[in-house]
Amino acid sequence: MGGWKIEGERPQHKSFVLIAAPHTSNWDFPYMLAFATLYDLRISWMGKHALFTPPLGWIMRALGGIPVKRHKNQNTVSAMTEAFAADRNLILVVPAEGTRARAEYWKSGFYHIALAAGVPVVPSYLDYGARRGGFGPALIPTGRPREDMQQFRDFYAPMSGKFPKNFGPVRLREESASQSDV
């Protein structure tokens, strides 16, 4: 696949939240679709609502896209939790960084969606440095974000996005709050 090596097995869970990281380039999207096809995964993915306007909006929906208005105060976690309840085979891809630019914190929606829906989080990766991609071990969220996120920090430590300087720290804002609760 264009010089890329696929690693690991297809996730065994029928329904899960799939982290797409590092997310530093527009090329991540076609590679994500290609890897999903190779692994025979029917994915749905959240994207900024501007991607779903004419003339290409219908294509984005056909490719599994779900528009999200990030600038409005919507309860995306509840909406996606309901989507999991309605579809026992939902695989929801979430770019946890929320942007291709460097972000100091990941968006926590992926974590809260999985926790509320009672589904695991599966990390996926496109490691441009080694030209490899695949999946990591599933994590059932415990509600202790600092502990759970450590698994993802360890997993993503050797990964490199297309633009490595744009891949920020693997952490949630909630981790600072949960640390003071300990």
C-beta of residue 35 within 8 angstroms of C-beta of residue 55: no
How far apart CA 65 and CA 177 sit, in angstroms, is 33
Query: Across residues 120-138, what is the average pLDDT?
Result: 92
The pTM for the full model equals 0.86
98: which DSSP letter?
S
CB contact set of 177 (below 8 Å; sequence gap of 6+) = none
Query: Across residues 19-37, what is the average pLDDT?
Result: 86
CB contact set of 117 (below 8 Å; sequence gap of 6+) = 15, 17, 80, 81, 84, 85
The total of structural domains in the chain comes to: 1
Output the average pLDDT for the chain: 87
Q: Which residues in 16-28 are b (16+ Cβ under 10 Å) and which e?
A: bbbbbbbbbeeeb
Residue with the bigger pLDDT between 48 and 140: it is 140
Out of 29-33, 73-77, 158-162, least confident range: 73-77
11: which DSSP letter?
P
Domain that holds residue 89: 5-181
CB contact set of 50 (below 8 Å; sequence gap of 6+) = none
The pLDDT-based confidence of 32 (bands split at 50, 70, 90) is confident
What is the structure's pLDDT at 136? 92
C-beta of residue 141 within 8 angstroms of C-beta of residue 115: yes
Q: Does pLDDT of 79 surpass 50?
A: yes
No. of helices (H) and no. of strands (E), the chain:
6, 7
